[in-house]
Amino acid sequence: MKKYAVAIYQRDRMENEKLSAIVVDAESDEEAFAIAVGKIIKHDGKFNNFSYTAWQCTEE
């Protein structure tokens, strides 16, 4: 397992913005993104209602 820092920026149709950042253990950047999204949904219950999502993942 590697540690990844994942930052996710989201903007909805009303121009509301949200930035989430988290460090996760994963085997790849794609897996790290999936884990981060799961934790965001668990925390606030919102993710799919955003019209724009960008993410960056950096191995630490």
Provide DSSP, 11-53: E-TT--EEEEEEEEEESSHHHHHHHHHHHHHHHHS-STT-SEE
* Domain locations in the chain as residue ranges: 2-59
Task: Determine if the pTM surpasses 0.95.
Answer: no
- 7 close to 21: Cβ distance less than 8 angstroms: yes
Q: Is the pLDDT of residue 23 over 70?
A: yes
pLDDT in tens, 34-59: 898 888 776 666 655 665 566 777 77
Residue 25 has pLDDT above 70, yes or no: yes
Q: How confident is the model at residue 9 (pLDDT cuts 50, 70, 90)?
A: confident
